[in-house]
Structure 1
């Protein structure tokens, strides 16, 4: 039973507060953390303290919006702290008013334990190695006493064990052996489990199975480069890594589309605040969307508030393996830094902005996680598109989207959790979680029947069945504070086939069930009805649909909690028993409230009593309709391990999204620049798009993936589709004169001798004319000088016209030569690509001049041009050229176009 001891208030008289950030939701600065710990140390009169937590106590919601929306005062900077006091059990916690430089609350609570920090976990390994009984158990397992440096453990919170309850601060040590320091210990689990008292610094018990198992001496399975080389390396490929894995680079030559003011993000009409704390990790707050000048609130706060990973082996002591990682360790505490030791961008790719995380160490000093949060953009594929079949799909608009990603990665013992908050330009907010890392393993004998509770993934390695369930906390603020929530189910018509209301039996509709009370909101996913959930403002009605402005939660990765009623897991994670719970919002303890569904202090909680979600649900009668609500959603997966998951697991991905419905009056991304647009009138007139290129997104980097790039033969030129332009066609040319294959490639064409330079927004100084009369040959260094290359070619009018000369005289383009011999446009493009894109000097390119082409046993023809050769030494010809020669050796490409 919890005992609350309220202590006296302490105030300091002389210290000035440290500089505060401009934004009330910004995490505590290093200076603020040091100020808090100095005040706490003074308040405890020199007692020996270990700091566990110092974090921002976010301002109450009303105070925040009074400041933001009503020009009210800045809310005070409030910090929350947890300390471990030598000689005392339980939790010592309190509140500090940084602005006033005083401790305004301190309390000591029995029956609970504070969160475990990485420093706590590291101490456990030192303790177990020195313990004589652990050494004896290792010897029984086949590990000699002089090899204790090869013993490792994953320190887990004990969950709850009735032998001790919360009377001691305990960890269970899941034991492993490494054959060398680079071994993966998960290939060599041990069969016993020490229990460590963290406050006493000693092992107090060891759980030993009835059936003993010797440590596996099978060669370890590992995933580091030297082990990959040992396993897969060959004489030709010593590294063992795949040689066909070409790199992909993300380029943004004009920079990023987002703007940040400290922690406030502005991107594609979104504005929101990015926070970070020890427990939830990334916190996104105060979402708004600029709807053509009308700045509309969407969400007040979004975060992962808890998670549980229950394992499915019912044998003792595996029932204790059900880590509530966010509440017992903290996603922020376990966050990785996202640049490696060499400064390599190994976790994020592109043009990146990082934010640091600031925590506290045991001594009360600020501890900075460099580059804890990664912010970057990615291509998001087609945002919208439509083509008209009536003119062979030439009338079209294609708009590509981008997405903004805010991510962190945290390591919970063996598992890595990659958390990606993703924003799309259409107002959608997505959450994607990627699981990787290593399976939690337990030892099994060669002849052991492990039953249905796990899988043998490597010799003597048993990986138990388990689940990964998360609690997503959503505080909606859709067009204001008063919101409602509902289920949304696809239902067939209630009327039978043949009835007047459903004559043909094909009717179906969307059934809404609005939650009036907390009890109504306790629901589960229904795949049979494609269930989604709506959060909406009943007072904000869409003028077209007549329905309320809504954000719809679409979530299909909704594994049910498989632990049965009465189990320890269900008691300690009551929120996980259902997929939704909606509760009214309330401020708490000098700040923002109702954050953690398993309670403020999770380690060693028995699951008894009213706390967290159980307290908030109460008797289920609280109103949640048209009021300030918090929506909790449980989602996740069930994992039955397989050998493919070992020795390191490929990412397993699951996601969900919040989509605007009836929030906008039309598609909100029609103002995103298209990458291709052509009207019916333009198609009919045989014109290119009249859209100003300045209002379009021009793709300057995409190109056709051809064998020419890889040094082989090719059927087409390596050139971006939007940049493929055929000029100088006869004035009478129409669409039907253009070969369909070129149209399929996205060919643009014109009867002019060149595209309009100024109207097209092209800098003429960046244009290079491939000119046989030029005095200088094209070299790889020209890549930095030119963005566009114009080829005269051999296509066009008949008789032939010196179009290259016309372009030279009319536009004054800089000229470059491709050697002395004439080549086709196809070969000229290939040659330019080799020089400019691949950096190959002209003299190193292999050509075949005037090749004799045989198209049957008796007939051949000599081609009057120079060609690049493939790896077999054969000339690379345009696709269909041999067939054209065979059909009519006298007919040229010019004739084909004119006729």
Structure 2
């Protein structure tokens, strides 16, 4: 039977609550109540308070480590283990068009000292200037209602044959728009449909309204120029131009739902001949939970979730049998991402979606479906978050946890005896999938039997499409025509993986490792035959030195090491290496808007000293922030502080450059990106050596359907 929820899993003896557990529904309600009480007592009470987000404010790292007893460094033992349970709240007041940030102290059973019984606001800050919290889901949905009711938009839609009630809107953050300073903005990409479940992205409209997300006012309607026209050089110049000849939307259907394809009179027929592949675990799963800590084989992983990053894995440890439970990583998360588009003309340049910071990947998580998104014996975790009124919305099945066969773990055949030792690997997968308007992103953290961790990101969904006029040619430099009159613009998907290590202790350093030829020439004393090569190691001593890029010619990787402990055989520092070939450069030029706003994407590697409030490389509030060189990660790496044998954080930027294909239309086959964290001189020997050999007695020969039998190739 599939495991439907946490309640169906046997606990391994749940201990006290974990300090990084997400806020419960009850805590969210207590927080919103405390905030409303506080706001009503202000000198000027807030009349129309809206909750943008309520999430856990993570307690200090050293206090958490002391509380849990994972790391025994003297620096950890010196701090108090008392934990204050707190919520961080981002608020909007639509009456005054202002934003606020508040901290609420919550009742807690985590205190060693005095308990907090009644929630109270301990900090309240007004967010001044252009600072805007992320756009909330209900806010994005509101944009469709606004556009359908506005008379200017109705007139513009009817001019191309679309009635306003048939408008569909994807609200986007606007990046930076100098025409409307200090206003909370959405740019609205418009589409229509032939019928209720028709693919709306096949029918884009030729104008883009900009709305005030506080008041609902339509501030302007932008009409992108046609390819080949003289393009205005700025927003001001464009806004003074009258609308050019209008372009009706392409109305040929391009569907992906089979029920809709069957209505398109295209002769569509679903593929046949795919026989079921069943995944069964007749004895149940090999994992269990201790509270929200996932226990599997030698691993222990705390599974958190928040509205912004989605999954956050913390306090990752591994019991190697010889040395006991060993700490590996304090916290792993995808801390930010950006999707910049290549079209250079106004207003397409505003397409640069910071899906984590501007919207919240967690808030956009799917409710995963058993047997579809996740297959096999499954456990799910829900996620509670706030709505605009301060109530609770629950995303059911936001996280999927399951095991998969992972092929051969190791194998060797003695060719003299034809005897083999072969063990099969398996992986534990913790996953979540989110929908950001047209795109889907799947995030999969996987753990294997040999101590390795992998982050796999799967990109799918529907490419962002814009229309062309009947005889308009494409812009060959910046887009691809994927269907008649539908162009998909070039873009990138760039992610920032934040790695907070604790490899056998709090102190770490990072070494760049390159495979290079020996310096000696052929015929020299040091390299007479010319075949020498070695791994060149460069220790990063300061954050500035750490700013670097992937080099495929040298197979560049990065080793995160604890210099206070060495391997008994190799003599090397114990460590984990970060390996990733999916590291394209940010293609927008220095000084561009997205370059200024996405410092994490300018290079592939950064290392900084740990700081409690530095979780997001483009800052807490990236929405409409202009960025710059004194902003987020760009500022943090300027500090002239040693990162040798210190508590450090590793920021790895990875991703893909997407030149769309017609094969990506109307729905995109999955593109996969992977980042590996692999032990390097951390374990004394292969940590999977104790995995027994096994033969699957249910395996069959396809050419005769004969039951397979175990053979000498599987020995335990």
Same fold per superposition (TM over 0.5): yes
Residue by residue over 1:744-796, the C-alpha shift from the partner in whole angstroms, topping out at 9 and shown as x without a partner, is: xx799xxxxxxxxxxx9xxxxxxxxxxxxxxxxxxxxxxxxxxxxxxxxxxxx
Corresponding residue pairs, total: 658
Secondary structure of 1:244's match?
coil
Secondary structure of 2:363's match?
coil
2:24 to 5, 29, 34: 29
Partner of 1:77: 85
Distance (whole Å) between structure 1 residues aligned to residue 342 and residue 630 of structure 2 = 26
Report if the CA contact (8 A) 1:353-1:374 is conserved: yes
Partner of 1:110: 128
Partner of 1:317: 347
2:667 to 630, 636, 648: 648
1:635 to 649, 654, 658: 654
Residue by residue over 1:599-652, the C-alpha shift from the partner in whole angstroms, topping out at 9 and shown as x without a partner, is: 11011111147332122123x422111100010010000000111001100111
Distance (whole Å) between structure 1 residues aligned to residue 536 and residue 246 of structure 2 = 57
1:225 to 258, 274, 280: 258
1:41 aligns with 2:49: no
- How has the CA–CA distance of structure 1 residues 229 and 701 changed in structure 2, closer, same or farther, with 3 Å as cutoff? farther
Report if the CA contact (8 A) 1:232-1:241 is conserved: no
Distance (whole Å) between structure 2 residues aligned to residue 180 and residue 213 of structure 1 = 23
Report if the CA contact (8 A) 2:204-2:250 is conserved: no
Q: CA deviation at 1:191?
A: 1.2
1:421 to 442, 445, 462: 445
Distance (whole Å) between structure 2 residues aligned to residue 241 and residue 656 of structure 1 = 35
Secondary structure of 1:381's match?
strand
1:155 aligns with 2:171: yes
Distance (whole Å) between structure 2 residues aligned to residue 458 and residue 212 of structure 1 = 22
Report if the CA contact (8 A) 1:429-1:659 is conserved: yes
1:662 aligns with 2:662: no
2:697 to 685, 695, 700: 700
Report if the CA contact (8 A) 1:302-1:473 is conserved: yes
Distance (whole Å) between structure 2 residues aligned to residue 410 and residue 531 of structure 1 = 31
Secondary structure of 1:402's match?
strand
1:718 to 696, 706, 709: 706
1:614 to 615, 634, 637: 634
**Deviating 4+ runs (over 4 angstroms):** 70-74, 230-234
1:475 aligns with 2:492: no
1:601 aligns with 2:621: yes
- How has the CA–CA distance of structure 1 residues 508 and 609 changed in structure 2, closer, same or farther, with 3 Å as cutoff? closer
Distance (whole Å) between structure 2 residues aligned to residue 21 and residue 616 of structure 1 = 36
Distance (whole Å) between structure 1 residues aligned to residue 153 and residue 527 of structure 2 = 73
Select the structure with the greater relative contact order (CA < 8 A; seq sep ≥ 6): 2
2:385 to 339, 344, 359: 359
1:562 aligns with 2:587: yes
1:214 aligns with 2:247: yes
- How has the CA–CA distance of structure 1 residues 218 and 361 changed in structure 2, closer, same or farther, with 3 Å as cutoff? closer
Q: CA deviation at 1:319?
A: 0.6
Report if the CA contact (8 A) 2:385-2:393 is conserved: yes
Q: CA deviation at 1:105?
A: 0.2
- How has the CA–CA distance of structure 1 residues 499 and 28 changed in structure 2, closer, same or farther, with 3 Å as cutoff? same
Q: CA deviation at 1:497?
A: 1.1
Distance (whole Å) between structure 2 residues aligned to residue 354 and residue 480 of structure 1 = 32
1:523 aligns with 2:542: no
Partner of 1:870: none
Secondary structure of 2:262's match?
helix
Distance (whole Å) between structure 1 residues aligned to residue 547 and residue 179 of structure 2 = 34
Distance (whole Å) between structure 1 residues aligned to residue 484 and residue 248 of structure 2 = 11
Report if the CA contact (8 A) 1:308-1:469 is conserved: yes
Partner of 2:374: 348
Residue by residue over 1:9-65, the C-alpha shift from the partner in whole angstroms, topping out at 9 and shown as x without a partner, is: xxxxxxxxxxx9711110001111111111000001163211111000111011101
Structure 1 window deviating more from structure 2 (544-553 vs 606-615): it is 606-615
Distance (whole Å) between structure 1 residues aligned to residue 265 and residue 644 of structure 2 = 61
Secondary structure of 2:344's match?
coil
Secondary structure of 2:700's match?
coil
Partner of 2:55: 55
Bigger helix fraction: 1
- How has the CA–CA distance of structure 1 residues 212 and 465 changed in structure 2, closer, same or farther, with 3 Å as cutoff? farther
Q: CA deviation at 1:447?
A: 1.9
Distance (whole Å) between structure 2 residues aligned to residue 513 and residue 499 of structure 1 = 25
Q: CA deviation at 1:233?
A: 8.2
Report if the CA contact (8 A) 2:406-2:425 is conserved: yes
Distance (whole Å) between structure 2 residues aligned to residue 414 and residue 331 of structure 1 = 14
Report if the CA contact (8 A) 1:150-1:180 is conserved: no
Partner of 1:396: 420
Partner of 1:277: 306
Unaligned runs of 5+ in 2: 1-14, 108-115, 226-243
Distance (whole Å) between structure 2 residues aligned to residue 316 and residue 405 of structure 1 = 42
Distance (whole Å) between structure 2 residues aligned to residue 122 and residue 322 of structure 1 = 20
Distance (whole Å) between structure 2 residues aligned to residue 90 and residue 673 of structure 1 = 62
2:482 to 457, 477, 499: 457
Distance (whole Å) between structure 2 residues aligned to residue 380 and residue 609 of structure 1 = 44
Secondary structure of 2:135's match?
coil
Query: Who wins on radius of gyration, i.e. which is larger?
Result: 1
Distance (whole Å) between structure 2 residues aligned to residue 479 and residue 261 of structure 1 = 22
Partner of 1:288: 317
**Any residues of structure 2 matched to 1:459-858 within 5 Å, and which?**
459-587=484-612, 593-608=613-628, 610-618=630-638, 620-675=639-694, 698-706=695-703, 714=704, 718-722=706-710
Partner of 1:301: 331
Partner of 1:136: 155
Partner of 1:407: 431
Secondary structure of 2:458's match?
strand
Secondary structure of 1:419's match?
strand
Partner of 2:292: 263
Distance (whole Å) between structure 1 residues aligned to residue 248 and residue 399 of structure 2 = 40
Unaligned runs of 5+ in 1: 1-19, 588-592, 676-697, 707-713, 725-742, 749-759, 761-899
Distance (whole Å) between structure 1 residues aligned to residue 566 and residue 378 of structure 2 = 39
Q: CA deviation at 1:701?
A: 2.0
Over the residues paired in the alignment, what is the CA RMSD in angstroms? Answer: 1.9
- How has the CA–CA distance of structure 1 residues 454 and 204 changed in structure 2, closer, same or farther, with 3 Å as cutoff? same
Distance (whole Å) between structure 2 residues aligned to residue 464 and residue 78 of structure 1 = 43
Q: CA deviation at 1:334?
A: 0.5
Q: CA deviation at 1:128?
A: 0.6
- How has the CA–CA distance of structure 1 residues 21 and 414 changed in structure 2, closer, same or farther, with 3 Å as cutoff? farther
Distance (whole Å) between structure 2 residues aligned to residue 509 and residue 459 of structure 1 = 53
Distance (whole Å) between structure 2 residues aligned to residue 218 and residue 247 of structure 1 = 37
Distance (whole Å) between structure 1 residues aligned to residue 697 and residue 382 of structure 2 = 34
Distance (whole Å) between structure 2 residues aligned to residue 718 and residue 324 of structure 1 = 54
Partner of 2:139: 120
Distance (whole Å) between structure 2 residues aligned to residue 556 and residue 209 of structure 1 = 37
Distance (whole Å) between structure 1 residues aligned to residue 675 and residue 698 of structure 2 = 32
Report if the CA contact (8 A) 2:173-2:624 is conserved: yes
Distance (whole Å) between structure 1 residues aligned to residue 171 and residue 92 of structure 2 = 18
Distance (whole Å) between structure 1 residues aligned to residue 188 and residue 427 of structure 2 = 42
Distance (whole Å) between structure 2 residues aligned to residue 230 and residue 245 of structure 1 = 23
Residue by residue over 1:496-532, the C-alpha shift from the partner in whole angstroms, topping out at 9 and shown as x without a partner, is: 1111211111100000100000011000000110000
Distance (whole Å) between structure 2 residues aligned to residue 162 and residue 389 of structure 1 = 72
